[in-house]
Every structure is written in structure tokens, then in C-alpha cells.
Amino acid sequence: MTTTPLTRVQTNPASRARRRERIGLITEASRRAGTYAAGAGDRAIFPQADALAGLDAFRQPLPQDGRPAREVLAELDTFGSPATTVVNEGRYFGYVTGGTDPAAQAAAILAGAWDQNVGSGSTAGEAIDAVACQWIVDALGLPSQSVAAFNGGATVANLTGIIAARDALYARAGWSVAEQGLVGARPLRVIVGEEVHTSALKALRLAGFGAAQVERVPTDATGAIRADAFPQDTDDHTLVLLQAGNVNTGASDPFADIIPGVRERGGWVHIDGAFGLWAAASPQLAHQVAGVEHADSWATDAHKWLSVPYDSGIVIVRDGNDLARAMSADAAYLHPTAEAPMNKGIQMSQRARAIETWAMLATHGRTGLADLIERSCAHARRFAAGLEEAGAEILAPVALNQVLVAFGDAERTAATIAAIQAEGTCWAGSTVWHGRPAMRISVSDAATTADDVDASVEAIVRSWASI
């Protein structure tokens, strides 16, 4: 590509020195990042005690005077790098922690040098953001006219969707939240499943819906809402939050049985699909979320299963006007377009995080994405089979990429989890499932291989036997 040559203003020596320093530091940081990636696979997944003690190097008062940035970078690497949890080597199974796809990571490095504010007015940032938003809607099989927007994560995406829902339901009833506020408005009925994610409750709270206002529908043995227990008398002042992917079991609510009725009666359905919504991107697994496309809004994460760097979530709203009503802002100096990210979310200034998702999807395409999702689920089933064969108890059917395991009673299960976390081959966390303490294994890193699963099963079984 050719670019129009510019007449450069002669820069002074200070500017030239600053530029040289920037170039040197970017190169040095990339070199150190490469060395980190090269060594991460050889050490304990969770940092050992001496590495954690090294973090004391950072616990200093604000320095009075400065020092060379190169020294600061070296300190960061020397004491910070060894004290990180290794999340990109395929053997970290805590929470729902996606690794980082190499293409997305590389894009983040370049985009870091660009430092674009994509809220409004970033040329490259906004153009790529718009494409990534469309690709997400397409990849998830959602209605093509839906509007997507990036934000900091599924909590923010849930909050954004809930506020869009709230304001839309009121607008249809002739009440403008923007003008009249919430005081005096007829209360909305809010319905969630018994197994609603805690962050969705936080989002509801931030949007003005207290815990006592929220009705919980019973769930079944897999953690999905029981369709037969779902109220049939919802109205046009009803907001329903359903879930694609229970955080413990991966099970999804019965969308096809619930959504049409709620919408026919004038209500709004929002989906928390932080990781589980990605099942829709796989022809093999899409049946698990059948009917999810009929909802009004959806929240998902890119930083979990899609394997892009933190922090990156996405909200999608069926009718873009509903998102705009809730989120647009304007000022004389801004000149934002209606599609500007600042008008589709809570933040004004924001980093151009969609670039990483664009790079991931551009690199792997639709088939690569489906393969990533399917592979993780196959590894989860392999985990369950291996652990079950060794005598452990799998507490719920493996719907997607989450596995729940108990090793005898509560005490032995807790001791086994502590032992594997200290042993270092892999890392898995703990949870309580329907009253039973359990190890929770989430296969969300694209780097995980069958060998990683086998080595991890072996280490877990060894840890169990050692107590």
C-alpha cells in the first residue's frame, strides 16, 4: 500500500530522543514477552511461594524522582513475570479463563502502539470495531440487524442489556426514563433462574432492581430453569434474564420453551451467555442453545472462550434503537455517529478492544471458531471420563466445557483440590454444587491438548491418592 508522502516538520533533538526511546522499549517489551511465553510452559501453573514473595519488590512508596523506563520494564519482568498464573499453556482450568490466541495477542501489541480511543473519532479503531461487531452477530447466529457493542466484560454487557431492556419496556408504556427517571414509574417484574450468575444480580442491582424484587424460578439437576415452573402470566412490564451456560455445569435454560411466550405477552428477554452462548457458533453444539436467537438482547465475553486478551465483553441488542435510547450521549465538540461505540455503551473513552477479536476471527474463521468450541468440549468429556475411570464422581452431565468432580466426601475433595493447586501440573478451582463441595474444571484455553488433559487427570488422581 502506498501512502501520500508528507512534508515533515523538522523535529527537535528531544522529540527524536523520545521516539528512539519508544521504539527501543516496544522492541524490548516484545522480546521479554517472547521470553516469557517461551518459559511459561516449564513452570508450575500457579506461582510458587518464592515467586509470590518477589512481589514485595513492588510494594514501595511512590518514588520521589524518576529513573530509566528500561529499568522499570526489567523490574516488571524480573518480579512480575514469575508471579503470574500461567493461563496460556493449556493447563489452567480455573474459573472460565480463556487463554490468549496468538493472533489476538499480537494484534493487542500493535494496537497498543496505536493507542486509539474508539469511543468516537478513531478512524481505524472504529472501522475495525464495526466489522468485529457484525462478525460476532453472524458467528453467534443472531438476527442480522442486531447491534453489537464491545465493553469490559459480561458483567458490563449484562448491565448494558438490562438498562436497554428497562428503558425500552418503559418507553413502550409511554414513560421516558431519560426524562422522568425511575421514581414513580410502575415497577417492572424481574424473573431469573435459581442458578443466575452473581454478576447478573449485580448488574440488576446497578440498574435499580434490588434482590427482593427479583423472582427466582427453580432449576433442574443440570442447573437449567425448569420450563414447567416458569410463570405463564408475565406481562409487558416483565424483564426475564435467562442463561446460556451455567457457570458450574455449562447447561443452558430451555430458551425455545420460554422466550416466545414472554415476548408475545410484551416482555423482554435478556440472555447472560458469558461463555455458553458460543455453543451457537458450533454446528455440533448449537442445539444446546436452540431458540436463543429469539431473545431481545444477549451478553457474552470475548475474553473467556473466544481467547482474546482481557478485558473484552460484548452486548448485542435486537433493535439498535433500544440500545441507542439507553446509551447515546452528545456534546457539541464530540461529533459522534450513531454507531460510535460511545453511543452503544456506558463508557465514553475506551480502548479499541475489538481489534483483538477481529484478529482472532480473521485468523481462524468460522470453522476455526467452531473447532475451538468443539475441541474444548471434547477435552471436558475426556476429563470426565478419565476421572470417572479413576473412581471420582462426576456430579453433573458435561454439557459444554465445564466438569464438576467430587473425590469422596467434602474433606477429601477439598484436600485434593488444595493438593493439585500446590502440585503445579495444572490448576482447577473449587465450588459447591447443590450442597456438595466439588472441583470445577473449565476447559476454556484453546492451547489445551489431549495430552494436557491426560497429564492433568494423572496429576489430579495422584494428588487424590496422596492424601
Ligand X SMILES: *Cc1c(COP(=O)(O)O)cnc(C)c1O
Contact residues for ligand X (CB under 6 A)? 96, 153-155, 197, 199-200, 245, 247, 272, 274-275, 301, 313
Query: Quick one: three-class SS letters along 228-268?
Result: HHCCCCCCCCEEEEEECCCCCCCCCCCHHHHHHHHHHCCCE
Beta-bridge partner residues of 297: 270, 317
What is the closest distance, in whole angstroms, from the C-beta atom of residue 247 to ligand X in the complex? 4
* Cα–Cα distance for residue pair 335/329, rounded to 1 Å: 10
Residue 318 in 3-state DSSP? Answer: coil
What is the closest distance, in whole angstroms, from the C-beta atom of residue 373 to ligand X in the complex? 15
What is the closest distance, in whole angstroms, from the C-beta atom of residue 206 to ligand X in the complex? 12
Residue nearest to ligand X (CB): 153
Q: Which one, 301 or 445, has the nearer CB to ligand X? A: 301
Q: Which residues contact 46 (CB under 8 A, 6 or more apart)?
A: 85, 86, 421, 422, 424, 427
What is the closest distance, in whole angstroms, from the C-beta atom of residue 420 to ligand X in the complex? 22
- In single-letter form, the type of residue at position 363 comes to T
Question: Is the separation of the CB atoms in 167 and 319 below 8 Å?
Answer: no
What is the closest distance, in whole angstroms, from the C-beta atom of residue 154 to ligand X in the complex? 3
* Cα–Cα distance for residue pair 176/266, rounded to 1 Å: 17
Q: Which one, 142 or 271, has the nearer CB to ligand X? A: 271
Beta-bridge partner residues of 117: 351
Question: Is the separation of the CB atoms in 245 and 279 below 8 Å?
Answer: yes
What is the closest distance, in whole angstroms, from the C-beta atom of residue 282 to ligand X in the complex? 18
Q: Which one, 167 or 272, has the nearer CB to ligand X? A: 272
* Cα–Cα distance for residue pair 269/435, rounded to 1 Å: 29
Q: Helices 354-389 and 123-139 sit at what angle, rounded to 10 degrees?
A: 40
Backbone φ and ψ for 113, nearest 5 degrees, come out as: -70, -30
Residue 341 in 3-state DSSP? Answer: helix
State the Cα angle at 297 between 296 and 300, rounded to 5°. 150
What is the closest distance, in whole angstroms, from the C-beta atom of residue 357 to ligand X in the complex? 14
Q: Which one, 126 or 195, has the nearer CB to ligand X? A: 195
What is the closest distance, in whole angstroms, from the C-beta atom of residue 216 to ligand X in the complex? 15
Q: Which one, 169 or 251, has the nearer CB to ligand X? A: 251
* Cα–Cα distance for residue pair 249/385, rounded to 1 Å: 15
Q: Which one, 197 or 318, has the nearer CB to ligand X? A: 197
Q: Which one, 214 or 457, has the nearer CB to ligand X? A: 214
* Cα–Cα distance for residue pair 406/388, rounded to 1 Å: 10
What is the closest distance, in whole angstroms, from the C-beta atom of residue 224 to ligand X in the complex? 13
Q: Which one, 105 or 442, has the nearer CB to ligand X? A: 442
* Residue 415, all three cell numbers: 484436600
Q: Which one, 129 or 253, has the nearer CB to ligand X? A: 253
Which DSSP string do the residues of 391-454 spell out, in sequence order? Answer: T-EE-S---SSEEEEE-SSHHHHHHHHHHHHHH-S-B-EEEEETTEEEEEEE---TT--HHHHH
* Cα–Cα distance for residue pair 60/62, rounded to 1 Å: 7
Q: Which one, 139 or 457, has the nearer CB to ligand X? A: 139
Q: Which one, 99 or 336, has the nearer CB to ligand X? A: 99
**Unique residue bearing C-alpha cell 475411570:** 389
Residue 216 in 3-state DSSP? Answer: strand
307 DSSP 8-state letter: -
Side-chain half-sphere exposure of 151, counting CA atoms within 13 A: 26
* Per-residue CA distances from 13 to 20, 68, 222, 278 (Å): 10, 18, 66, 52
What is the closest distance, in whole angstroms, from the C-beta atom of residue 155 to ligand X in the complex? 3
What is the closest distance, in whole angstroms, from the C-beta atom of residue 431 to ligand X in the complex? 12
